[in-house]
Structure 1
Amino acid sequence: MSHPVPADILIVDDLEEKHIAYRASLEELNQNVVTVKSGAEALRLLLERDFAVILLDVNMPDMCGHETAALIRKRKKSRHTPIIFITAFADDVQAAEGYALGAVDYILSPVVPEVLRAKVKVFVDLHQMRSELARSHALLEKRVEERTAELERTAEILKVEVGERKRAEERLSLLVNELTHRVKNLLAVLQSIAVRTLNDSRNVADARQVLVGRLHALARAHEHLTEACWKGADLGHIVNAEVAGFSDRVRAAGPELLLTASAVQTFALIVHELATNAAKYGALLNAEGSIAIKWSIIDVRGEPHLEFQWKEKGGPPVVPATRKGFGLTLIGTMVSAMASEPAIDFAPDGLECRLKVPIDIIAAPVPEGRGVPRSAALAG
């Protein structure tokens, strides 16, 4: 197998110290890092060569990052080159302007080397895959021409080969697009989890423990999705995986329901947060507490909805102020994005959380040949 040709990465920043820092952060990728100090230099360089990705500082003298991006996009050769803006001061208006100019991402400065490296690597890999595909395409075209000259009477065979090649290219294109979509979604989820965890008022050791727990919850969700070839995962399996450590104290029951990939991630994090909070503050804090998890499909104004209920009892008296955090914030964000509102009840005998979400928003298509949804007792 041939090794991919190193890709070119362009860094546009007026500060030499930033060049040094970015080069050090990207050194592990073993690619060609090219640095310039102005938008004008970048535009001249883009006339001569192609780049896998451009890291563009927003605040530069003479020509700012947004002006440079606009000129880059006007040129046919660089119209689709990925641009990642780097800025120390970002707001919604500035971000919206950047994305309108075709930016693929925004990174706040000072950058975290691991984050910068991970995001750049995605576009380097895509660039190398496209380059390899172009080289393969060129070789295949040459072969087709040679065989056409030699085998004029085998035109039908040649048509079959060309057809297979096109189908292979289409499959590869679909695979690359799907990979790009999944990587972007995963990076967004990881960034949200990390930011929320580190913004909470806790020390480093506690933050690390909480972050590891949340990442494990996300990993378990991805394990279920991988086993199902990303066709979706059953809600019962997700709940089971997240409460497995408390199976003698938690009971869950409900019909089989295949969730989309995004819904799987969301429900995994929700159940993880509720279980973690219950262990710290609620029903799982003492030996008498227990949790009942139930879900069902109900009719709401003629449309099927998922009704999901988490009910704690037997724990210490609930104090609402001690239960606010990432979990409940996540629940509120998730259901509000799904045209619903959560019902959170800080009852003295135990927290109760109820969700109603339209099925068509969270349900994945049922694979052909799969049976009718069933009800089952799951954990315990």
Structure 2
Amino acid sequence: MKRALSVLKPPPDLTISDWADQNRRLSSEASAEPGQWRTSRAEYQRGIMDAISDASTDTVVIMSSSQVGKTEVVNNCVGYHIDQDPAPVMVVMPTERDAETWSKDRFSPMARDTPCLQGKIANPRSRDGTNKILHKRFPGGHLTIVGANAPSGLASRPIRLLLCDEVDRYPFSAGAEGDPVNLAKKRTVTFWNRKIVLVSTPTNKGASRIEAAFEESDQRRFWVPCPACGAEQLLIWGQVKWDKDEAGGHRPETARYHCADCDMPWKDEIRWSAISKGRWIADAPFSGTAGFHLNEIYSPWVRLEAMTKAFLSARAGGDETMKTFVNTSLGETWMEAGEAPDWQRLADRREAWAPGTVPERGLFLTAGADVQKDRIE
């Protein structure tokens, strides 16, 4: 009786980030930094996880590069709900093979090594059918893991927490059933307290699910204060600079980030320290959907030397390799050159410079204006 009544308890006061800091253990086979989870290791993750915990938020959209820990955010959401707020949970991966890989390589080590999850999920060797690779039961709920290419899995049962990972890799249609994201969302309509989380690195402009979802959100971006002048700024690739040798060869090992306001160079350690003091700022009004955008410059696991090498290699390889860099390192959509209008190709060549400064080696300044009847743009 006591166990049955425990299911009716109200949701806890803990946020997902609080729960992870107190309970989550990273496994050696799934993380380069095994041991106790620390949200402060990548402070920007706190705002994302707390938005998922926020009762006023219906949908959370994460459009980002690789190497920023977005899959671990998904893992923490699952672990939190198994331990603290049981509910029917569904994790959707691009394919059934991806679903099996996540279950075996990400979820199972977390369930095994996080003490508060131990015993809540049956032993995988048990014969009662409560712990299969793609379906696991726990007191008060269950976890279903499906591939976006499997329409029967997407339409099988009501779901309160829906976590869709790498949505830009989903097929256009799940069989003959239509868009897999919309199909999965229909599973949540019976829950007043549902939560939908969409996660992905973007792909092509105009065909990216995650970009379309982000544009419908409040579009939060992470602003970082300069350690020298205090100016808050977005971290963009145009502010990453490096030296060349006497022969004109690139020296990626000299890469550093330059403040957009005072031009102070930040080495990796300074950059990481500055990022730990950053904050999320929304560009659009909030209407139930919280959107987050990140690029690899924010990652505490990536050095600018490695990013610079990847950029130089991508630039030398042509459009296909450059597209990969833009998608997976900058977390931005790619527009094919042949499809872009002239103004777009020109706009894409813009660089960010602080007001009142002239770029190095600048010889003369020009200005352009569009004269309208009542104003000059």
Answer whether TM exceeds 0.5 for this pair. no
Higher helix share: 1
Query: TM-score, structure 2 length as denominator?
Result: 0.29
Instruction: Return the TM-score normalized by structure 1.
Output: 0.29
Instruction: Give the greater-gyration-radius structure (CA).
Output: 1
